[in-house]
Amino acid sequence: MAVSAIFAAVMSSVSDSAFTSYEPTVAPVAATHIGSPRRFFIETYGCQMNFNDSEIIASVLSAEGFQLTTDCQQADVVLLNTCSIRENAEQRVRARLSEFQSLKRHNPGVLVGILGCMAERLKAKLLEEEHIVDLVVGPDAYRSLPQLIARAESGQKAVNVLLSREETYADISPVRLASNGVTAFISIMRGCNNMCSFCVVPFTRGRERSRPPASILSEARQLFDSGYREVTLLGQNVDSYRWEDPATHAVVTFAQLLDQVASVHSELRIRFSTSHPKDITDDVLSVMADHPNICRNIHLPVQSGSSAVLQRMFRTYDADWYRRKVDRIREYLPDCAISTDIIVGFCGETEDDHRQTLEMMDYVRYHQAFMFRYSERPGTYAARHFPDDVPDAVKSRRLQEVIQLQNAHQLQRNREQIGKIHHVLVEGPSRRSPQQLAGRNSQNQMIVFDARQALKGRYVQVKAVSCTSATLIGTLCPEPTKHLND
């Protein structure tokens, strides 16, 4: 994990099995070199959206006859699906590119592609800055990847960074990569219309657009039928989901979509991310309350506990408003966990502003938090109008304080669970020991326990007996439960 992006807890980098029913809308490209299929290697940086995009990319290429390889030495095409959110995310990609220099020296025919947010932000400039790069492909241009590869093979550099107002890749069934066979992502919308002053995403991912509900529901059903038991609905701002039927003009909101996905099967768990505090509605909370299979966990990025900082961030709420939103969630869903994102050291942040962030954390006692030092991003409103004036040492110290407090809250929260029985979806072996299984409760707390491996993908009851700040340690109760609400 990069220095300025220290995560208090590790999000599951889930994904899964394989079915590809993609009808190419692009002219087919012969994907064989004198009989042997060409191989592509893909490495993903950044958020869950990006991981899901890599699964779409794998689907587009597989449909054209390319074969996935997990060994970059074997690849004909090496793709990096990149992130621009903080400077260090881009530095990691550039460092990786310099490692690929030797790969290209040994095999001059290998093509190197930069995909995703960094491609969109830097466009053709990337070709000048990084000579090793042959392809630059933005997040809305993945359908054209086979043609771009063909062009690069003919010795020309290939760039497509066109953003779209419509593209949702709705008809593409992702090829599940690094699958645990139990949990999967489903993208429900793309882009972001919020212009938070610190954020580069609206520039790299374009305007919001929602995917038709029928394709989302069919993906959820297919996943359930192939053994998956949890889906996470993904979008930069899921509560802005809004789909209008072109024929009837009937509108489907996020609350309605959530209700429909939760009705696919009572044993399919639903999570969603990310919610902007200004957009999550009572309707969404009420649908959650109606469906025990919608997990009791809302990711509600606060960014700062200071109203003055929130105003400069263009977050459109202040600290009191956010606290009232948290109260509202707890009225509807008393057992709901809340997780968050926090940025320390934003432009002009004073010690008093920072203290207010710590106070907000004390108020909410987040179950999980992703905590970052502010990183100025070229082109954003903040970069153009506010000096990045909090010294590095101060940012680091504030980040440490936020992390320490978060760890203390997580430890408290986990201790409160000791002695209680949890409904756990088993995801697979724990990372520490093959004798142990790991899974999550509805609140997204990780629980490890001794058990035989055959329980993977099943719901079980586990009694928590001890904990660390990151994990509950439990013992399996004798009778596995079949139903979430047993």
Q: Which residues bind ligand SF4 (CB under 6 A)?
A: 46-47, 49-50, 83-85, 116-117, 201, 204-205
Partner from ligand 5AD, ligand SF4, none binding residue 441, C-beta < 5-8 Å depending on class: none
- The one-letter amino acid code at 450 reads D
CA-based nearest residue to 291, from 319, 332, 340: 332
Partner from ligand 5AD, ligand SF4, none binding residue 199, C-beta < 5-8 Å depending on class: ligand 5AD
Pattern 246-285, ligand 5AD, x by CB under 6 A? ----------------------------------------
CB of 340 to ligand 5AD, least distance (A): 8
Candidate residues 301, 305, 457, 474; the one interacting with ligand 5AD per rule CB under 6 A:
301
Is residue 372 within the footprint of ligand 5AD (CB under 6 A)?
yes
Query: Which residue in the shown chain puts its C-beta closest to ligand 5AD?
Result: 341
Is residue 390 within the footprint of ligand 5AD (CB under 6 A)?
no
Judge whether 78 and 106 are in contact, CB under 8 Å: no
CB of 191 to ligand SF4, least distance (A): 10
For residues 305 and 236, give the distance between their C-alpha atoms in angstroms, rounded to a whole number: 21
Judge whether 438 and 446 are in contact, CB under 8 Å: yes
Candidate residues 303, 414, 442, 471; the one interacting with ligand 5AD per rule CB under 6 A:
303
Q: Beta-strand (E) ranges in 355-483?
A: 368-373, 421-429, 436-440, 446-450, 459-467, 471-476
Number of residues that bind ligand 5AD (CB under 6 A): 12
Pattern 322-361, ligand 5AD, x by CB under 6 A? -------------------x-x------------------
Question: Alpha carbon 298 to chain centroid distance?
Answer: 14
DSSP 3-state of 45: coil
Nearer of residues 84 and 414 to ligand SF4, judged by Cβ: 84
Candidate residues 121, 190, 299, 377; the one interacting with ligand 5AD per rule CB under 6 A:
377
| Residue 204 exposure: Cα atoms within 13 Å on the Cβ side | 26
Nearer of residues 279 and 341 to ligand 5AD, judged by Cβ: 341
Partner from ligand 5AD, ligand SF4, none binding residue 84, C-beta < 5-8 Å depending on class: ligand SF4
Nearer of residues 29 and 196 to ligand 5AD, judged by Cβ: 196
Query: To which H or E segment does residue 273 belong?
Result: strand 269-273
Query: How open is the CA angle 71-76-77, to the nearest 5 degrees?
Result: 85
Candidate residues 110, 199, 231, 484; the one interacting with ligand 5AD per rule CB under 6 A:
199
Question: Alpha carbon 422 to chain centroid distance?
Answer: 25
188 vs 241, 246, 273, 325, CA distance in Å?
8, 17, 10, 24
CA-based nearest residue to 406, from 440, 446, 358: 358
Is residue 241 within the footprint of ligand 5AD (CB under 6 A)?
no
Give the full edge-to-edge strand order of the sheet including 269-273: 183-187, 230-234, 269-273
Buried b (16+ CB within 10 A) or exposed e, 133-169: bbbbbbbbbbbbbbbbbbbbbeeeebbbbebbeebbb
Partner from ligand 5AD, ligand SF4, none binding residue 117, C-beta < 5-8 Å depending on class: ligand SF4
Partner from ligand 5AD, ligand SF4, none binding residue 204, C-beta < 5-8 Å depending on class: ligand SF4
CB of 344 to ligand 5AD, least distance (A): 9
| Residue 178 exposure: Cα atoms within 13 Å on the Cβ side | 14
In the complex, the residues that contact ligand 5AD under the rule CB under 6 A are 85-86, 198-199, 301, 303, 341, 343, 372, 374-375, 377
